[in-house]
Amino acid sequence: MQLTPFCLMLSCLRVSPDRSQFFMYESISLSCEDQSNSTGWQVKRKTSKGGVRPCASGWGSSSWGSKCIIGNTYPSDSGVYWCESVDGEQSHSVNITITDRTVILEGPTLPVSEGDAVTLRCSPKTMASNSVYHFYKDDHRIGSSSTGEMTIHSAAKSDEGLYKCSVSGGGESVSSLLAVEASHPSSSSPPPAHSCSVSGFRLMRHLVVGTPYLLSTVLLALIYRDRKRARVVAERRGSNDVIMEIVT
């Protein structure tokens, strides 16, 4: 899965394996990747039954520092997970679902950037030959596959939505959100077209305002040049008259 996960500047919650749906009894590893000067990052979660509490609080779970491992997951572990510092700063949250269904949809846990390639996988608990996998977005079928994979080659904002999958002769997964964030333009990218239009308008305005002054300046310069030339000619004529009188 070739994609660029979206992380906030404070901290980023990493989920391993990188998906938001899990079968019962699977193991999940969560960790906080600190990208700030804050200290004491801890994985926290909010479930429908347990409220807000540290990540590892059940049997088979462990937590140390900014990492947490849930050894045997149950549907009660489903909920929202995030990283939180001792100062109360929070990272982007991840919605994790533990299901007792026979099919899950594997997709990125964090939002992806526009233009990324995203692969969704339909994973049945028990593999069967000659299965056909169907993919849905917002409850509308968008494609089928014999490999169990569907790839969005260049993610766009319109691809954002709730995705799920089903297996022919089998079950159906729950829905998971695929979020798409706007990519940041590179510094070398050309300016937007409207900027060029605005610059052209400003140039025309300056030309319209400045042209009369420019013409006036040129006209005054021409008048000054003609008067100077006339004065020089007159002086030369006066000098010639004096010389002629002396010769006579």
Residues 6+ apart with CB under 8 A from 87: 38, 39, 40
Q: From start to end of 85-208, where are the E strands?
A: 94-99, 103-106, 112-113, 118-124, 133-137, 140-145, 149-152, 161-167, 176-178, 180-181
pLDDT tens per residue across span 104-135 = 999 998 899 999 999 999 999 988 888 999 99
Report if residue 5 sits inside a domain: no
Dihedrals phi, psi of 3, to nearest 5 degrees: -155, 165
Report if residue 152 sits inside a domain: yes
Q: What is the DSSP letter of 10?
A: S
Q: Which domain holds residue 137?
A: 11-181
Q: Mean pLDDT lowest for which of 51-55, 93-97, 135-139?
A: 51-55
Report if residue 246 sits inside a domain: no
Report if residue 236 sits inside a domain: no
- pLDDT of 116 reads 95
Give me the helices (H) in 124-192, please.
none
The CATH code of the domain that includes 39 is: 2.60.40.10
Indicate the pairing of strand 133-137 with strand 161-167.
Answer: antiparallel
Q: Check pLDDT > 80 for residue 217.
A: no
Report if residue 18 sits inside a domain: yes
104 vs 235, more confident: 104
Compute the average pLDDT of residues 193-208: 51
State how many domains the chain has: 1
Report if residue 136 sits inside a domain: yes
